[in-house]
Structure 1
C-alpha cells in the first residue's frame, strides 16, 4: 500500500490529527481532565520566576528592616512552595489520566484495524505482505502513544508557557514581551517548517523501507521450509541485506536531517538568549529594573528556554508519530470491498440447493469476463465434481458461492436466498471447506479441529477426528490433542494436516461442503484414508469437489466440465466417457483411464 500523491503534498498531519481527534471523542472526560491538569501545572511553573524575583528583592532590599525583609522573603518562598505543590499534583493527575486513555484508544484502534483487515477481500490479501501489514498496525499503535504524549503533555504546556510568559513580561516591560514573543514565534515557525518540509519527506520514505524490511523478514520466515529445501539461506540473507541497505541509506538521511534541524534550532535559541540578557542589562542600566527584576526575567527566560528547546523535539516527535501512523490510517481508509447489504439476514439452509442464475463475473486484471451468463443448478444433497484445465473457472465457482468475490451481474442463490443479501458470517458458517493446502493455526490440535465450532465438547472433537482417520496419529503424540502444530501446521505431515482439516469439516457439520483438491500430493495410504473420510463426509450434504485427479470424482452424482469460464459438459462419469472427442474423455485419457475407455467404446 502506498501513500497517495495528495498525502505526499502535505495533508498527512491533518489526516492523522483528524483520525486522532475522532478517537478522542470517546474519551472526552479524560481528555479534558488531562488538558486542564497540565495547563494548571504549567501556569504554576510560569509564576514561579515572578516570586523568585520577589525573594531576591526582599533579600537585597535596604529600605526595610531585616524582619520585614524576612517576612516578605518567607511569603515569596511560601508562594513558590505552594506553586510547586500545585505543579506536582496537577502534573501527576495529567500523566495518570493519559495512561488509561491511551491504552484504551490503542486497543480500540488496533482491534478496529485488525477487524477491518480481516474483512478485506482475498484479492487484497493476495497482494499484501502479511508481515508488512502487521508492522503497519503495531507501529501505528505505538505511534498513538507518542502522539498523545506529544500533543497533551508536551506541546500544550509549551504553548501555555510561551503565551503566559510573554503576557507577564509584556505587562511590565512591553519591549521585553515583544522581543521574547518574536523570538519564540521565529523559533517555533522555523521548527515546524523544518519538520514538515525538510524532515517529513525523508521520514516517510524511511518508514516505507522499514515496512518493506518487515515484509521481507516475514516472507522468508513463513516460507522457511522452501528456503531449506533449495539451500537458499544465503540467497535470502542477501535479499534481506539489500532491503536493510535501502532502509539504512534512507534512515541515515532522515536522522541527519534531524541533526541539522537540531543545530539550527539551537542557534536560534542562543540568539534569543543573548538578546534577552542584553535587553535586561539595558533595563537595569536605565533604572527600569532592579536585581529582583533581572532575576525574574532571566529565570523566566530559562524556564521558557527549556520549553522552547523541547518544542523542537516535540514537533519532531509529532511529525515522527504522524509518519508512523500514516499507514495505519490508510488501512482504516481502505474501503471494505465486500460488505453485508443493509438489513442482511442470516442464511437459513433447508436443503442446500445452489443456483447460478445468469451470473457474470469479471476479474479486474482481465480484459474479458470469466463468466458471462453462467446458469447452473446443483440440487440439495447432490455431489458434484468440478473439473477442467487450470484457469478454467473451477476455483472461482466455489469462491463465488462463498461470496469471496462479488458478481458483476446475475445472482447466486442458496435455497432461494441470494448470497448478496445474507450476512457473510452466516453464509460461510453453512459451508465447510477442505482446501488443497490445509493451513492450520499455531495452536493445539484440539483448537484447530474445533475452529468451526469452538463450543464443541471433547467427545465431539474426538469423534470428528475418528471419522477423519486423524485420531490414530493424534493419540500417538505425547500431548495428544493438546499438541501445538507449529506455524501453518509445519509439525505435521501433509496427510496429517489434511486429516485435521477433514476433522474440522466433520465437526463443523455444515450442509454444504467444498473439497478443493483434498487428496492431491499425498502418498497412497494417506490418499486412501482421506478418500474414505471424504466419502463419509459427503453423505447427506451438498458437495462441490474440485479435482484434477479424476479418480476422485468418478463416483459422484454429476461432473461439471469447465473450459474458459463455461460449462462445456456435464453428467456422471460414465456418460461423459462415452462422448467421443469430449473434453472430459481427453482429460481421462491423459491420466490413463484406459479401462473405462475400453468399456465405453
Structure 2
C-alpha cells in the first residue's frame, strides 16, 4: 500500500529532470566564480582537443612531400609542435578544472544534505509519524551522492562533449559542407534519440526502482529499530521473510531498469555504426573525386574518431545524467515539502516568567477529520499551578500539551503564555521555556552527560550531576562502568525504563524551564522506581506551572486542579477530593474502575 501511494505521488510530480536541474543550477549560482573557472578550464581543454585533428592532417600532408623539401620539414615540425603544445594545454586546463570541481561539488553536497536535514527536523509531527526514518535517511544520502555524478556528468562530460561536436561540425563544414551536414544530422538524431530513451523509456522504470530502494531502507530500519520486539516474539525468521519479499520486488524493478539501459546502449551503437559508415565513406568518395588529399582524409578520420568517442560517451553521459536526476528526485521533493509549522513574519522570542497559560476560545481540527477535536475550548492555568489532565484515550489530553508546545497550529482562537500569543513567538524560544518528560522518554545514542545536558548545552559537569541527584539518577549512573560517560544505546535501550525516566527528569531539572509537562512518567514501572520518580517529580514541579497527563489517577491526587477531558471537552474540573465526591461524575467512575482493578490484582497476588 505504501509503495502504491509513493507511485501515485511520483506521477503527480513534474518530470524529475524539470525539477532537479533548476534545483542544482540554483546551487551552482551560489558559487558563480568557481562555476565559471571550471567551465573555462574544461572548455579550454576541449578546444585544444578539437584542433588536434587539424594539425594531424597538416602533418600527414607535410610527410607526403618527403624530407627533402625544406618547406615540408618546417610544416611537419610546426604541426608536431602544435600537437605537443595543444596536448600540454589540454592536460593543464583539464587538471585545473578537475582540481576545482572537487571542492565545488563537496560544498554543494554538504549544503544540500544539511538543508535537507534542517527541513526534516522542522517538518510537522504528522509528517514524522507517517515517514520511515530509514527511508528518509536513504533519500538524503542517495540524493547527496547523486550530486557528485550529476556535476561530473554535466561539467566534465556533457559540456566538453557538446563543445567538441559543435566545433567539429563547424570545422568540417567549412572544408566540406556535405560531411559537416552528415555529422550534424547524425549527431542531432543520436542525441535526440538518447534523450528520448532516457526520459521516456528509462526514467519511469528508474523512478519505480528508486521507490523500492527507499522501501528497502525503510524496512531495514523498521526491523532493526524494533529488534527488541522481534526477539521477544522469536520473529527473526518472519522479519527475514518480510525483507526478502521487499528485496525480491526491488530486484525485479531494478532488473527491468538495468535491462532498459542495455537496450538503449545497443540501439545507440547501431546508430553510431551507421554514422561511421557515412562519414568514412564520404571521405573516401571525396578522395576518389580528387577533392581531398591524404592529409584531408586523415583530418576527417581523426575528427570523426574524436566525434565518435564523444558521441558514444554522450549516450552514456545522458543515461548517467538521468540516473543522477532520478536519484535526486526524492531529495528535491524533501526540499519542496512545506514545513508544517512556520514562524510568523513578526515572530519574536517569548519571555516566560510566571507560566500563566490561557486557552482563549481555541478550536482545533486535525487534518482529515470532519469534526473539530476542540470547539471554542477555554482554559486558564494560573502561574505555578499544578494541573492534571485525565480522561479516556483519544479525549484530547495529549493534543492539549502539543498545542501548548505549538507542535500544531490552532484552527481558531489563541493560546497565551504570560499574555503573549504563542503563534507570534519563535518556536525555539517557546519550546526552550517548556520542559517535557514523556511517558516513553527518548534518549540519544550519546553519553548520559550529553543526554542530561541536552536542554542546556554547555552545562558544567557539576550542574549535570546536581540535576541527576535531584532526579534520583546519580546513584545508578555512578554504578555504571563509565559513569556519566556511558553511552546509552539507540533510544536509550541500554537502560531500564525507570533509569530512562530518571535521566529524562534530570534533563528537565537542568533545563530549569518555567513550564513543565509530565506525560505519565510513572506508568509501567516497578514500585521502587515509581517511588523514586514520584519523589523527583514532586521536587521538579515546585515553583513551576506543571501539566501532568495522567492515566493512573493516583498520580494526580496531590495536584492543585484536575481537568477531565471527554471527546475534546472539559466536562469536569476540580481537586481530586471534590471530583471523587461528585455522584455520577466521569472522574469518579474512572477512579472507581481503577480501584476495583487494583483490588482484584491484590486479591490474586
TM-score range for the pair, normalised by the shorter chain length = over 0.9
1:414 alignment partner in structure 2: 417
Q: Judge conservation of contact 1:3–1:327 (CA < 8 Å) in 2.
A: no
Q: Which whole-Å CA distance do the structure 2 matches of 1:428 and 1:110 have between them? A: 25
Alignment RMSD (CA, Å):
1.5
Post-superposition shift, 1:14? 1.4
1:257 alignment partner in structure 2: 260
Q: Which whole-Å CA distance do the structure 2 matches of 1:300 and 1:238 have between them? A: 57
2:324 is aligned, of 317, 321, 325, to 321
Post-superposition shift, 1:430? 0.2
Superposed, which structure 2 residues align to 1:579-594 within 5 Å?
Answer: 579-592=582-595
Superposed, which structure 2 residues align to 1:276-291 within 5 Å?
Answer: 276-291=279-294
Post-superposition shift, 1:461? 0.1
CA change 1:274–1:10 in 2 (3 A) is farther
What do the CA deviations read for 1:283-328 (whole angstroms, capped 9, x no partner)?
A: 1101111111111110111111110000011100111111111111
Superposed, which structure 2 residues align to 1:185-204 within 5 Å?
Answer: 185-204=188-207
Post-superposition shift, 1:519? 0.5
1:573 alignment partner in structure 2: 576
CA change 1:417–1:444 in 2 (3 A) is same
What do the CA deviations read for 1:40-86 (whole angstroms, capped 9, x no partner)?
A: 11010010011111111111115x73443222111101000110111
Superposed, which structure 2 residues align to 1:376-525 within 5 Å?
Answer: 376-525=379-528
What do the CA deviations read for 1:524-547 (whole angstroms, capped 9, x no partner)?
A: 110000000000000000000001
2:244 alignment partner in structure 1: 241
Aligned residue pairs total: 595
1:226 is aligned, of 200, 225, 229, to 229
**SS in structure 2 at match of 1:380:** coil
Q: Judge conservation of contact 1:464–1:506 (CA < 8 Å) in 2.
A: yes
Q: Which whole-Å CA distance do the structure 2 matches of 1:6 and 1:513 have between them? A: 43
What do the CA deviations read for 1:352-406 (whole angstroms, capped 9, x no partner)?
A: 0100010000111222111001011010000011000000000000000000011
2:603 alignment partner in structure 1: none
Q: Which whole-Å CA distance do the structure 2 matches of 1:448 and 1:9 have between them? A: 40
CA change 1:378–1:110 in 2 (3 A) is same
CA change 1:8–1:430 in 2 (3 A) is closer
Post-superposition shift, 1:3? 6.5
1:101 is aligned, of 101, 104, 120, to 104
Q: Which whole-Å CA distance do the structure 1 matches of 2:354 and 2:13 have between them? A: 57
1:55 is aligned, of 59, 66, 72, to 59
Q: Which whole-Å CA distance do the structure 2 matches of 1:595 and 1:471 have between them? A: 32
**SS in structure 2 at match of 1:26:** coil
Post-superposition shift, 1:214? 0.4
Post-superposition shift, 1:101? 1.1
2:49 alignment partner in structure 1: 45
**SS in structure 1 at match of 2:234:** coil
Post-superposition shift, 1:216? 0.3
2:219 is aligned, of 216, 220, 235, to 216
1:142 alignment partner in structure 2: 145
Q: Which whole-Å CA distance do the structure 2 matches of 1:284 and 1:188 have between them? A: 29
Q: Which whole-Å CA distance do the structure 1 matches of 2:338 and 2:598 have between them? A: 54
1:164 is aligned, of 162, 167, 173, to 167
2:210 is aligned, of 199, 207, 214, to 207
Structure 1: where are the runs of 5+ without partners?
Answer: 597-601
CA change 1:289–1:540 in 2 (3 A) is same
1:368 alignment partner in structure 2: 371
Q: Judge conservation of contact 2:7–2:208 (CA < 8 Å) in 1.
A: no
Post-superposition shift, 1:4? 6.4
2:561 alignment partner in structure 1: 558
Q: Which whole-Å CA distance do the structure 1 matches of 2:9 and 2:361 have between them? A: 40
Moved more, 506-515 or 177-186: 177-186
1:599 alignment partner in structure 2: none
Q: Judge conservation of contact 1:402–1:428 (CA < 8 Å) in 2.
A: yes
Post-superposition shift, 1:35? 1.0
What do the CA deviations read for 1:439-496 (whole angstroms, capped 9, x no partner)?
A: 1000000100000001110000000001111111110111110111110001111111
Give the TM-score, by structure 2 length. 0.97
Q: Which whole-Å CA distance do the structure 2 matches of 1:3 and 1:38 have between them? A: 39
Q: Which whole-Å CA distance do the structure 2 matches of 1:285 and 1:175 have between them? A: 15
1:306 alignment partner in structure 2: 309
2:602 alignment partner in structure 1: none
1:151 is aligned, of 123, 138, 154, to 154
Post-superposition shift, 1:119? 0.4
Structure 2: where are the runs of 5+ without partners?
Answer: 600-605
Post-superposition shift, 1:8? 6.0
Post-superposition shift, 1:9? 7.8
CA change 1:169–1:10 in 2 (3 A) is farther
2:15 is aligned, of 4, 11, 24, to 11
Post-superposition shift, 1:98? 1.0
Post-superposition shift, 1:6? 8.1
1:35 alignment partner in structure 2: 39
